[in-house]
Amino acid sequence: MPSTTVWLFFAILFSIKKYESEEFIPQEKIQDILNIIKTTILFRKNMAEKSYKCESPNCNRKFDEYERSLTNSNNCIFHCNKDNWYELEGENKNWQISEEKREYFWKKLNESIIEQNIYRSDKLLNRYSFKNFIFPYNYGNFFPRDTLDVTNFSKISKDIYFEECVFLDNIEFSFIVFDGVVSFCDNLCSSEIMLSNCEFKTLVAIKNEKEFKGTFNFYNSKFFDEVRIENSHIRELELFSCEFNSLFNLNNSILHKIDFEYTKLKGVSSFKNTKFINKLDLSNSLISGELNLLGIEVTGINRETARIIKNSFEQQNNIIEANKFYALEMKEREKELEADLKKGKNFFEWLVFKIHGISSNHSQDWLLALFWIINFTFAIGIIENNFSMFGVNFISFIPFIFIMTISLCLSTLENIFKNIFLIFFSLISYGLYSLITCDFQLYKVVNHINPFSVMNSWDNLTFGEFLYKIIIAYLIYQLIISIRQNTRRK
C-alpha cells in the first residue's frame, strides 16, 4: 500500500503541474497548493484510520480500506473468497490476474508470523494456528527464511495447525526442521502439499474425514516421532525416500494411491482396517519394524508385497490371514509365468501352477478340492459304466466332457456365489451319475475314491485306473492341506 510520503509527493507534483505554464506562482496560488496538499494528507489519514473487522468465524483481525479493495468483501485477505483470483486453463490455474493480491496476502501472512499474530485459540499456546484460511498459489517456500528461527539450520519451534483450510494450488515446505507438532485437520485441496527435505521431531498428524482430493507429498524427509494418519480419506499419499523412526499410524483410512518408494519403516507401522483402492506396492520399501495389517483391503498387489504381508501375519501367528496373502502371492506368480509362457519359457512350471490354482486355489479352498474329488469321480464312474454297456465310442464320453467342462468353468469363476454354484452343480452331477449307473447309494463312488482300494491285493490294475488313483490321491492331499491351512496353529 502506498505510504504517506508517496501520497504527499504526488499531491505536490499535481499542484506544480497545474501551474507550470505560468512564469511565477502568485501568493494566492501557493495557498491553493497548500490546500491540495492538506486535503491529500487528510484523505490519506482518513483512509488509514478507517478499518474493518473480518467477519470470518474465529478471526478478530482488523484491516484497512486498501485491503478491503483487494478482497472486495467483509472478510480479511486470509479468509476472503479467491475464486476470481485465477483463470482456469484446462486443469491448471493461471494466477497472473491476481499478482498484487497474492503478494499482499503472503506479505501480510509473513508479517503476522513474525509478529506472532496468527490467530490462536489460546494466546498462551506456543503455536501457529491457521483456521479457515484460503491459501492462493505461492512461488516459494511457505515459510520464507526471515520468518524462521535461523541458526545453522532453518527451524520452526512452534506447533503448526492447519484446520479447515482451503489450498487452492500447490504449497511447499522445504528444508525445515519442525520442532513442534505439525497438524492438518479437515482441509480441502485439489493440488499438492509438498514437504521436502524436512525433519519432524515430534508428532505429525493428518485427519481428513472428507475426501482430500489433492496430494500429500513427503520427499526425502525424516520422522523421529509418531506419524498419525487416522480416519482419513486421501486421494494420494506419496512417501519418497523418507525415514520413519517411530510409530507410523495409518489406521481406519481410505487411500486411492500410496507410494513407499525407497522409504524406510524402522518403527511399528500400523495399517489396521485401511482400504487401499489402487495398487499397494511395498516392494521398494525397506521394512525393519513390525507391521500391523489386520483388516486391510487391497484392490491390487504385486507378488513381493503379498509375500511381505504374508510374512508379517505369519510372525504374528495369524495363519488364516497369512494364507489369504499366500494365495494372492501364488496368483501373482502365475501371472508372471503366463508372461514367460508367451515368450516360450517355463511351460511345465506354469502347468503345475495352473493345476494347483484350479484344484484348490493354491491349497486355500477345501470346498473346491472336495468339489473336484466328487465330480471327477462321478465323471469317471459314468464313463466306466458307458464303456461296459456301449463300448468305447464318442457317445460314452459326452457326460464326462459335460461334467469336466462345467467343473473347469466353475473353478476359475470369481464370484461371491461361487461356493453355491459348486454345491449346486455337484448335486446335478450326482443326479446324472445316479440315473446313468443306477448307483443311488454311491457304492462304486466310495470304493473309487479310496486310492488304495486295490493296491493291497494282487488284483490287476490298468493304466487308466492307476492314473485315476494318482489324481484322486493328489486331490485328497489338497483337501487335507486346505483344511489344515485354515485351522492349524503355528
At 485, the pLDDT band (50, 70, 90 cuts) reads confident
pLDDT value of residue 120: 45
Strands 51-53 and 62-64: antiparallel
Q: Which long-range contacts (CB under 8 A, 24 or more apart) does 256-265 make?
A: 260/284, 260/285, 261/285, 262/286, 263/239, 264/288, 265/289, 265/291
pLDDT value of residue 149: 53
Angle (CA) 79 85 90, round 5°: 125
Most confident of 25-39, 65-79, 392-406: 65-79
More confident: 144 or 81: 81
pLDDT at 119 over 50: no
pLDDT at 117 over 70: no
Distance of alpha carbon 34 from its chain centroid, rounded?
Answer: 68
Residue range 162-186, pLDDT digits in tens: 999 999 999 999 889 999 999 999 9
Specify which residues 280 forms β-bridges with.
301
pLDDT value of residue 336: 86
Residue range 432-471, pLDDT digits in tens: 988 888 888 887 777 766 666 655 444 566 777 788 888 8
Residue range 231-250, pLDDT digits in tens: 999 999 999 999 999 999 99
pLDDT at 38 over 70: no
Residue 23 and residue 29: Cα distance in Å, rounded?
12
* Domain limits, the chain: 1-49, 87-316, 365-487
Q: What is the mean pLDDT of residues 85-111?
A: 90
At 147, the pLDDT band (50, 70, 90 cuts) reads low
Q: What is the mean pLDDT of residues 3-23?
A: 50
pLDDT value of residue 427: 92
Angle (CA) 34 40 42, round 5°: 100
Residue range 318-365, pLDDT digits in tens: 888 888 888 888 888 888 888 888 888 888 888 888 888 888 888 888
Residue 101 and residue 87: Cα distance in Å, rounded?
14
